[in-house]
Amino acid sequence: MNDYRFNRQEVFNREDMRELMDIISDVEMLDGNHFELTNQLYGLFDGVLYDNIIHNANINMVPIALIRRINGLVRKIVESLVEVSDEVVG
């Protein structure tokens, strides 16, 4: 598992922060143990993106609609990382 640092204050706007909080709440309400995914989502508040966050959502049977919401935030972060470093992050 690799992690990538990003500047959350530059990447996320107020709506993104609200969406992240809502996603975390929705994941915490799911049946089962979603500790690792929840921890990775909280990491986004600190400007840390874990490269396996979508994989963890998939293997933990998170509903596809929720995975799409997570992916929306991840795409925004990856686009900002590509702009800054000119590297493809994936």
Q: Where are the domains of the chain?
A: 3-85
pTM above 0.75, yes or no: yes
pLDDT the model gives residue 78: 93
Hey, what amino acid is at 70?
I
- Token couple for 38: 């929840």
Largest Cα–Cα distance in the chain?
40
Burial string for 28-55 (b: 16+ CB within 10 Å, else e) reads eeeeeebeebbebbeebeebebbeebbe
pLDDT digit string (tens) for 40-85? Answer: 999 999 999 999 999 999 999 999 999 999 999 999 999 998 876 6
